[in-house]
Amino acid sequence: MDLLDWHRGRLTSRRLAVLVKHLPRDSATLHEIHGDAAGWSVTDYLLAAAVDHLAESNWMFATVNRDEDSEPLDYPQPTPRPGDESAAAEAPPAETPVAETASQNPSTVQLTRFFS
């Protein structure tokens, strides 16, 4: 397909729009327009959400069942998704003191009450 056919009148604007709309997911045009999100389907986003929820539930289970004297566990990091560069920049650094992150994460008592 030659795009000059559109200029020459051999290819209608409607046909060109349909061809562009239905480009394959890995095409350079879609990658340029949508960035890395062009390679992610709904299934990929749902799978990333399932991985995040599983990591969070494992963290909750481990937090509830840990010894009282041990240090609190670090909250799991979410799976990176396309377009999340700004969210990653706003995330607290890994060296944040436990006292500051304690208000963000549920306490052992809250988790035990939730699961009881």
Count CB atoms within 10 A of the CB of residue 16: 14
**The pTM is what?**
0.54
The Cα 35–Cα 67 span in angstroms is 45
pLDDT at residue 47 tops 60: yes
Would the CA dihedral through 9, 10, 11, 14 be positive or negative?
Answer: positive
pLDDT digits (tens, 9 = 90+) for 1-36: 788 888 899 999 999 899 888 888 888 888 888 777
Q: Look up residue 45 and give its two tokens.
A: 């986003």
Mean per-residue pLDDT of the chain: 80
